[in-house]
């Protein structure tokens, strides 16, 4: 059964020069407030969103009600609309091409101009939640990780999952930037952690993620991946899927080894198979995992 409204969603807004009040069957009150505040150039505390408990319509999910036409601005009102006590009453409705009875795709949601620019505060909170800085240490290793997005929400994921002596560290690079990349990045992180919770080996983990991603993303989107697994022994397992190679500095030999593999990125070919490799690690060794965002970074002179 589709998680959708029984009829087109509508709302009513009362707009004055100083404030806006909306009555709408939406679950996304805060997001609706943010969008209207930006669209009307009003402070957020001057925008009030009232939820109407209409059984057939209260199914708006997170996303705000978006106007099918721009709201009345100062000095404007649609032809035939009456002025009530110096206030304007504005009707809003979902565009049928945007809100359908079936599932919206990531691309459709990100194509709405208001959503990727929803709110710097909310966007930064989303980035901090999905990709917090990593500092980890146990009796066998130290690990540090960080991503600095070009936009408020980026597509580069760095994560570490530790269980007893077992440690898995990885990076993933989702194609694109902004809201759509952030949503897909969250899907990848959730899938990785869910698979590791059940003790999946790295090849099986990637094959599972690769099999389910095509159904929840746009056809042209994908994710590269590079990761390693350490269990406190002298052997390290690593896996690379269309990502930059891991760099392994060997203290005993004072050299650097590139650990690379030719494997498809995640989300393009559901039947693709993946394999991992194994190398020996010793005290003092270093391993660097990174995405192409590091090697493609330029300075002020574009060099």
- The pLDDT of residue 105: 45
Say which CATH class 10-104 falls into: alpha beta
Could you give the C-alpha distances from 52 to 25, 57, 67, in angstroms and in order? 5, 9, 17
- The pLDDT of residue 193: 94
Which H/E stretch holds residue 280? strand 277-280
Say yes or no: domain 123-295 is CATH 3.40.50.300: no
Residue 125, pLDDT > 60, answer: yes
Average pLDDT over residues 29-52: 80
Residue with the bigger pLDDT between 117 and 259: it is: 259
Closest CA to 154 of 133, 125, 185: 185
For the chain, residues classed under CATH 3.60.40.10 are: 123-295
Strands 235-241 and 277-280: antiparallel
For the chain, residues classed under CATH 3.30.365 are: 10-104
Check if the beta carbon of residue 108 is closer than 8 Å to that of residue 95. Answer: no
DSSP designation for 164: T
Question: Left, alpha or beta for 241 (phi > 0: left; psi -120 to 50: alpha)?
Answer: beta
Strand partners, 158: 171
Average pLDDT over residues 43-52: 84
Residues 180-201: tens digit of each pLDDT: 788 888 899 999 999 999 989 9
Residue count (the chain): 303
Give the pair of three-digit tokens for residue 101.
């009875």
Residue 40, pLDDT > 50, answer: yes
- The pLDDT of residue 294: 82
Residue 114, pLDDT > 80, answer: no
Could you give the C-alpha distances from 186 to 126, 141, 193, 194, 198, in angstroms and in order? 9, 27, 11, 12, 19
Closest CA to 202 of 224, 175, 169, 174: 169
């Amino acid at each position: 059964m589709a998680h959708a409204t029984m009829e087109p969603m509508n709302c009513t807004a009362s707009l004055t020069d100083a404030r806006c009040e909306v009555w709408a069957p939406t679950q996304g009150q805060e997001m609706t407030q943010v969008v209207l505040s930006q669209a009307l150039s009003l402070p957020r505390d001057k925008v009030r969103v009232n939820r109407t408990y209409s059984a057939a319509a209260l199914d708006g999910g997170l996303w705000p009600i978006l106007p099918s036409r721009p709201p009345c601005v100062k000095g404007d009102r649609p032809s035939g609309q009456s002025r009530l006590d110096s206030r304007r009453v504005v009707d809003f409705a979902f565009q049928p091409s945007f809100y359908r009875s079936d599932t919206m795709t990531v691309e459709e949601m990100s194509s709405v101009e208001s959503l990727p620019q929803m709110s710097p505060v909310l966007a930064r909170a989303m980035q901090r939640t999905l990709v917090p800085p990593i500092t980890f240490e146990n009796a066998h290793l130290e690990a540090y990780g960080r991503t600095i997005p070009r936009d408020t929400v980026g597509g580069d994921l760095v994560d570490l999952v530790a269980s007893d002596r077992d440690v898995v560290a990885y990076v993933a690079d989702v194609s694109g930037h902004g809201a759509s990349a952030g949503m897909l990045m969250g899907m990848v992180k959730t899938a990785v952690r869910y698979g590791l919770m059940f003790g999946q080996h790295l090849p099986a983990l990637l094959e599972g993620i690769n099999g389910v991603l095509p159904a929840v993303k746009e056809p042209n989107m994908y994710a590269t991946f590079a990761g390693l697994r350490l269990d406190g022994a002298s052997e390290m397992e690593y896996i690379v899927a269309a990502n930059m190679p891991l760099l392994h500095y060997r203290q005993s030999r004072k050299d650097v080894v590139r650990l690379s593999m030719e494997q498809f990125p995640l989300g393009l070919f559901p039947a693709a198979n993946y394999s991992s490799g194994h190398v020996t690690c010793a005290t003092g060794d270093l391993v660097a995992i990174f995405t192409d965002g590091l090697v493609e970074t330029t300075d002020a002179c574009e060099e």
